[in-house]
A and B are shown apart, each in its own frame.
Chain A
Amino acid sequence: MVFEGYKTLLEVLREDLGLTGTKHGCELGECGACAVLKDGKPVLSCLVLGVECDRSDVTTVEGLAEGPELSALQAAFADLGAAQCGYCTPGILLTAKHLLDHTPRPTRDEIKEALSGNLCRCTGYLQIFEAVEAASAAVPLARPSSEGTPPDEVKPARATQQAMRARVR
């Protein structure tokens, strides 16, 4: 594809590729709304030039679902109130995906740390943490743990219901 050399990855995604799922909140690298994965690592697409992504593998929110099926992370976000206005959601989903790809069972503190560059003004973050935890519980580990217990096979819907019951009084 061809685009102007001054364009940021954010502009190339939104304007040249029509991938408007990636959002902008500041275009200065402050809010995290434009986070995408470049070769598997989260980057702020407003701070990366499009030309820097030559031969890179870029994942946006449009690439999260597996066909018509939502990923476990997306389903948990939708079910557990992690998306209110939904504007910060794409950036947070990708940042959380990176976390879970490398830390399948993160602690609450690890989740907080991983998401600390993504601002959300609606939720107060707690339902986002819970959704990441629910998605984490829903994704089977690649190997059984050393104690020989079987992989966690809790279905997303079940996990989200349990998380919800635990929280709603």
Chain B
Amino acid sequence: MKVIGKARRRVDGRAKVTGQTRFADDLVLPRMLFCKLLRSPHPHATIVSVDAAAARRAPGVALVLTGDDFPIPYGIMPVSRDEHALCRGKVRHVGDPVAAVIAASEWQAAEALRLVQVGYEPLPSIDTPEDALVMGGTRIHEYAEERNIHRLVNLEFGDVEDAFAKQADRVFDDLFFYGGNTHLALEQHAAVAATDPDGRLTLWSSTQTPHYVHREVARALGLPAHRVRVIATPSGGGFGGKSDPFNHEIVVAKAALLTGRPVKVTLTREEVFYCHRGRHPVLMQLRTGVKADGTIVGMDLTTLLDGGAYGSYGPASTLYTGQLQTVTYHVPRYRFRACRTFTNKPACGPKRGHGTPQPRFAQEVQLDKIAVALGIDPADLRLKQLAPPHSVTANWLKLGTIGLAACIDQVVEGSGWRTRRGKLGPGRGLGLACSSYLCGAGVAIYWNEMPHSGVQLQLDRSGRVTAFCGATEIGQGSDDVLAAIVAEVLGIGAEDVKLVTGDTDLTPVDLGSYSSRVTLMMGNAAIQAAEKVRGMLASAAAAKLGVPVARLGFADRRVFDVEHPEVGVDFADAVVAAETRFGTIGAVGSYTPPRSPGSYRGAGVGPSAAYSYSAAVVEVEVDPVTGWITVPKVWIGHDIGRILNPVLARGQVEGGVYMGLGEALMEEQTFRRLPAGLSGALVHKIPSMLEYKSPTSLEMPEVVTYFVEDADPSGPFGAKEVGQGPLLPIMPAVANAVFDAVGVRVDEVPITPEKVVAALDNRARGKKPRVGPETFPEVPWPEALLVPPPWEGGDGSARNDPKRGAAARPSADAQALARISVATAARRESRP
């Protein structure tokens, strides 16, 4: 390997350090207009009237748009297209956009916004999931399942109660709450739309998902999709926050079509907080049955999500609060119930780890409690029951390689866990937690059987290689991965590959930068395309050199005889030979994920071609008087399959640790009511970067990163994801470390000083030394779908789902996989 695995400057590194990376707000076009949005001051209200006459007459104003201009709803998921670019009929949260002014300057647009008169009739507003469950008289969306319940899930993979009753020596039952937080990408969302001379529309936007934006902009504006071009500008941070199609994108697109002039919108930081789509607040009840030696016999998880005012990715988020709970450890029986509610707050959506950090926090903190209660080292408790590689889980996810044991061993060794845990003295402690994550969602957002990623290569006689792919650079190094993989296969340098990415007119579809899918999916598509091209170059070079194709090597910008390396041609000459022989040289590659063995309703969330694994030990110092938590050091091991670029891989791990510490200790997207005299509105508590606390350079601890490279057959060169997984063990590891330090449990995120003090206070007063939720509300669960696990005669479908019927018939693959899993389970049983 000449490129893969080597520490290199990323291909876009120079642009980023010279200020030449062109973000969306850096674009300036001739005759460009500027857009500002008028937003609702009410959390829930009927729009009685909108009078824009005065605004239309204001200086510099070119256009004023209202909800009447946007009759077609849109939304990222086909099952919850519940948004209009500008509200029609009613507003559902403070910050919901009602009107847009497009003017010659941003200043004039802002001035004219004040002239738009909107008449509102306030409606009762819902601020908590608990209220959403019982308030049926006021409905935020009529399509909700009932009252203000957006989605309900009830899945049972084997009889958990039976396992608890007959096999478990102990059943641990805990409540946890994971607070909401937001992405806080440094770049505020921005978009520019313009029409070309043929009247076609181009939208530049700071989006992670240009393909989905393309679909939804075309849909919402009633345009044929081939008349719309979406270009993803390099994102100044995404973390999931730029994954939805946004109202401001659709507004400027419409405005550009109507005015015939380019139109730009850039959100203020406060508007970004109200855009949100961040981490769902989730209340969780987790019951886990274990044998006396700690072996898990069954798990029962119930989650309640505060979804905010719109669907967003909600149906997927809901399933993600449980579907990956079986991927880290072997869970023979599993019940998972989830409920997502609508509330009058900005919509929640995907943030790094999408739906998984919340239940992972619950699971990993509870495992720590189990270990303490049973007198087992928490590391050993985990090591003894890791999920078996290449098995199928109780909920029918097909696992790949699992390097978690090595991750645990590394962090245990590095941190001195065996000798230091519990012995660091008062106020100091160590906590351990593990996790697992997807390497790309196995099912697209909208149902189809087409590839998830396509790569096209074009070579010309100069020796230039151009790679076209819809993948989207959001800072994680998507472009660098594409260049590196093509370069490795063709024996050239990553910097030799010209990239055209994230442009729906020019590039083959890639679904976007979400679910940690780019490296695996785009990478495999790139290998396929590059190998086709390499084949053409090899046969032309073989003829020219008189060397058999099988003996040709590609490296150092040459094609040569591996037995006589001096016999060869320059790469550019090989392209000339190939173009002479075959005509213009190009090839395409694509990647479609394997079919998942599960076919029950809900089985579309969770499958992936491979899963990454992480383990972390966090050291904390807790001041027993103030509750202040300091983190001096973190050790983290990540099973990455294969490292493509060590600089970028470590950056993803450290960035994940950083973001995890922010979530664990301070970050909060919370809302408060204004006093009744001030409208009683439900407003963001702290919509500023100063007051939304996030770690600075001073809070960042030392981080020791260990990579476990156990190449996964599904990944390009064996690579798995690294963008999201390493965040997940951090929050529970912090909670477990706080317990080790001061002996109290904070079963909530964030773990703030006041909660630590409250828990210490509880202990001092003889109460339970804990802070966390005390009750879980009644939820009208539907009948459970009964899906037997592979080792209980299941076939991946629900036994009692009339809606699925014939479609639920399992594939031959599923049956074969079930046999593998039964065999694996049998082996586990027979182990001492």
Contact = CB atoms under 8 A, between A and B. Distances in A.
Interface of A: 14, 18-28, 30-31, 33, 60-62, 64-65, 70, 74-75, 77-81, 83-90, 93, 111-113, 115-129, 161, 164, 167-169
A169 B705 contact: yes
A20 B26 contact: yes
Given A81-B648, A85-B475, A86-B475, A33 B186 contact: yes
A62 to B, nearest CB: 6
B697 A70 contact: no
A61 B235 contact: no
A14 B28 CA distance: 10
A127 B18 contact: no
Contact of B651 (A22, A84, A89, A113): A84
B234 A85 contact: yes
Contacts of A83: 13, 16-17
A87 B186 contact: yes
B419 interface: no
Contact of A61 (B19, B22, B183, B268): B19
Given A26-B688, A28-B688, A119-B186, A70 B17 contact: yes
Contacts of A164: 7, 646-647
B647 A124 contact: no
Contacts of B420: none
Interface in B672-705: 688-690, 694, 696-698, 700, 702-705
Given A79-B9, A83-B17, A86-B234, A120 B647 contact: no
A102 B783 CA distance: 69
Contact of A123 (B18, B235, B658, B694): B658
B187 interface: yes
A24 B650 CA distance: 27
A86 B236 contact: yes
A126 B703 contact: yes
A117 B657 CA distance: 20
Contact of A85 (B20, B236, B654, B697): B236
A70 B15 CA distance: 11
Nearest to B27: A20
28 contacts: A19-B19, A20-B25, A23-B187, A24-B25, A25-B188, A28-B690, A30-B269, A30-B690, A81-B647, A85-B185, A85-B186, A86-B16, A87-B185, A87-B187, A87-B236, A89-B16, A90-B19, A112-B697, A119-B689, A121-B237, A123-B658, A124-B658, A125-B658, A125-B697, A126-B654, A127-B647, A128-B697, A129-B697
Contacts of A64: 17-18
B239 interface: yes
Interface in B447-493: 474-477
A30 B462 CA distance: 48
Interface in B1-55: 7, 9-10, 12-23, 25-26, 28
Nearest to A90: B19
A22 B19 CA distance: 7
Given A78-B16, A79-B13, 13 more contacts: A20-B19, A30-B269, A30-B688, A31-B186, A77-B13, A78-B10, A89-B17, A112-B700, A121-B186, A123-B658, A124-B658, A125-B658, A164-B647
Given A116-B696, A124-B654, A127-B654, A80 B647 contact: yes
Q: Which of B12, B18, B694, B704 has the most CB of A within 10 A?
A: B18
Nearest to B703: A126
A120 B658 CA distance: 10
What are the 10 closest A-B residue pairs judged by CB atoms, nearest first? Answer: A21-B19, A85-B475, A87-B236, A86-B16, A124-B658, A78-B13, A61-B19, A124-B654, A20-B26, A30-B689
Given A30-B690, A124-B700, A169-B705, A85 B237 contact: yes
Contact of B707 (A79, A115, A128, A169): A169
B651 A127 contact: yes
* Interface size, B (range): 35 or more
Interface in B238-283: 238-239, 268-269
Nearest to B649: A168
B706 interface: yes
A123 B690 CA distance: 19
Given A84-B651, A126-B654, A18 B28 contact: yes
B689 A25 contact: yes
A62 B19 contact: yes
A14 B23 CA distance: 12
A4 to B, nearest CB: 9
B659 interface: yes
B650 A81 contact: yes
B815 to A, nearest CB: 43
Contacts of B16: 77-78, 83, 85-86, 89
Contacts of B707: 169
Contact of B689 (A14, A26, A93): A26
Contacts of A127: 647, 650-651, 654
Contacts of B646: 164, 168
A124 B706 contact: no
Interface of B: 7, 9-10, 12-23, 25-26, 28, 183-188, 234-239, 268-269, 474-477, 646-648, 650-651, 654-659, 688-690, 694, 696-698, 700, 702-707
A25 B752 CA distance: 26
Given A21-B20, A121-B694, A125-B658, A87 B237 contact: yes
Nearest to A60: B19
A161 B7 contact: yes
B706 A122 contact: no
Nearest to A77: B17
A83 B186 CA distance: 13
B407 to A, nearest CB: 13
A94 to B, nearest CB: 10
A80 B9 CA distance: 7
Contacts of A20: 19, 22, 25-26, 28
A135 B654 CA distance: 21
Contacts of A18: 28
A111 B690 CA distance: 21
Contacts of B184: 121
A81 B656 CA distance: 14
Nearest to A169: B706
Contacts of B647: 79-81, 127, 164, 168
A1 B575 CA distance: 52
B441 to A, nearest CB: 22
A61 B20 CA distance: 9
Given A112-B698, A126-B654, A168-B650, A85 B706 contact: no
A12 to B, nearest CB: 14
B703 A119 contact: no
Nearest to B658: A124
A120 to B, nearest CB: 7
Contacts of A14: 26
A124 B702 CA distance: 10
A25 B10 CA distance: 24
A65 B14 CA distance: 11
B752 to A, nearest CB: 20
Contact of B239 (A22, A62, A117, A121): A121
Nearest to A83: B16
A22 to B, nearest CB: 7
Contact of B269 (A27, A75, A86): A27
Contacts of A169: 704-707
Q: Which of A22, A75, A78, A161 has the most CB of B within 10 A?
A: A78
A90 B648 CA distance: 19
Contacts of A87: 23, 185-187, 236-237, 475
A19 B696 CA distance: 27
B498 to A, nearest CB: 19
A149 to B, nearest CB: 29
B33 to A, nearest CB: 14
Q: Which of A14, A30, A124 has the most CB of B within 10 A?
A: A124
B635 to A, nearest CB: 11
B697 A116 contact: yes
A117 B698 CA distance: 10
